[in-house]
Structure formats: C-alpha cells, structure tokens
A and B are shown apart, each in its own frame.
Chain A
Amino acid sequence: QKEVEQNSGPLSVPEGAIASLNCTYSDRVSQSFFWYRQYSGKSPELIMSIYSNGDKEDGRFTAQLNKASQYVSLLIRDSQPSDSATYLCALTDYGQNFVFGPGTRLSVLP
C-alpha cells in the first residue's frame, strides 16, 4: 500500500515570504509526482508535475524531487494571500493508481 505523508499544517507565512511544503512517500516504484492546490469546497487544480530528480521551476513555484530520499517538496516564492489553500501531493507508479497525501493547509497572512 503506497503512502504519502504531508504535514497537515496549518502553515502560516507572511505575504511576500517563501512557503515550503514537504511530502514523503513510501513506494520506491513511484515514477510521477504532482502538486495540486485545492480551495475549500473546490476541485484540485494542478500546479506542477515532476518526473526526475532535481528542481523544476514554473513562475513562483519550484518543485523538488529526490527519489533516493523519497521526498518531494514545493516552494512558493513571494507568497500571496490568494495562495492560501490546501496543497496536495500526489504520485503514481504506472499511471493506474494515483495516491494523494492528506494535504497541507497554507495560510498567507497579509
């Protein structure tokens, strides 16, 4: 059974700061990793996919993957109040079972 762990938070950061969200997983077979943002009562929205070790940047977002340590993270630079949401880490091994972490609630304080 694959497991994905995240700190449930809430993680509070001041506006303009860097928010750092972390995720660890148990299954070494996992190949593809995703970060989603979910506002309360809404559907998850994809922020970024990452497939290989290292960093991947997209605007204010940077995802980092370390398969040896079974660790994936998301950095949000210049955090805005609109970034306040729950962030879900997800992974899949062969594109059949997608497993989600419980999510980290981020609060960006004006």
Chain B
Amino acid sequence: EAQVTQNPRYLITVTGKKLTVTCSQNMNHEYMSWYRQDPGLGLRQIYYSMNVEVTDKGDVPEGYKVSRKEKRNFPLILESPSPNQTSLYFCASSRSTAPGGYSPLHFGNGTRLTVT
C-alpha cells in the first residue's frame, strides 16, 4: 500500500530533551515536507526537500532540523524542544510534477507532540 508513515503517533516529552520524529514514504517521491498544525493557524510548512541532500526552510523553521540522506526518509529533529512546539505534526510527500502543474501532497497520519 502506498503510504507515508510517521512515528510515533503520540509523543510527550520535557523541555530540552532532544527528539526525532521519523517519516518514510514508499512511493519513490522526490519531494517531502513537514508541517505543523495549530488551532487558528492552520497548516504551516516547517521544512521541505526537493530531493536527496536538498532541503530548504519553510515558513516556520526555527527550532527544527531535518535531513534527507535517503529518498524515502525525512526525519524531523527537535534538538531542544520547548512548550511552544507543542503541536500536531504532519509529514507529506509528492512526486513533484503532474500533467498541467504540480502534484498534490500525500500526508502521513500525524504526530501529536506535547512538550511540558
């Protein structure tokens, strides 16, 4: 089954304790990205990657790191989490182009992170 897999689904941690949220896709997509979703603010892009070893900042990159060493994996790293990073996080992937435009995003199931 074609899918984007995120782990863990739920994560509770404390301020300053480094954590990694994994994301993997099995569709051979070039493009991958991370979003956070907060009430009243909608989905906001954190980082994206157009291909292996190519990453770039989205709208809210502060406090996050990413890496793209393999095409299928795009982990999100919080080196020193803070309470304002409590949010619902989504990983997404896309095959980049489609006839007439750009392909839509396919989303993982989400990771609900709580930082206390």
Contact = CB atoms under 8 A, between A and B. Distances in A.
Nearest to B98: A49
Interface in B96-116: 96-98, 100-110
Given A43-B108, A46-B106, A49-B98, A102 B40 contact: yes
Interface string A25-52: 0000001101000000111111001011
A109 interface: no
Contacts of A88: 42-43
Nearest to A49: B104
Contacts of B50: 96
A52 B104 CA distance: 15
B100 A95 contact: no
Given A32-B102, A44-B107, A95 B97 contact: yes
B74 to A, nearest CB: 15
B43 A49 contact: no
A45 B40 CA distance: 19
B94 A96 contact: no
A94 B104 CA distance: 12
B3 to A, nearest CB: 11
A99 interface: yes
Interface in A67-110: 88, 90, 92, 94-103
A84 B43 CA distance: 19
A44 B43 contact: yes
A27 to B, nearest CB: 13
Nearest to A93: B102
B42 A100 contact: yes
A99 B98 contact: no
Contact of B110 (A42, A52, A101, A102): A42
B104 A34 contact: yes
Contacts of A95: 31, 94, 96-97, 102-103
Interface of A: 1, 31-32, 34, 41-46, 49, 51-52, 88, 90, 92, 94-103
Interface of B: 31, 33, 35, 40-45, 48, 50, 56, 58-59, 88, 90, 92, 94, 96-98, 100-110
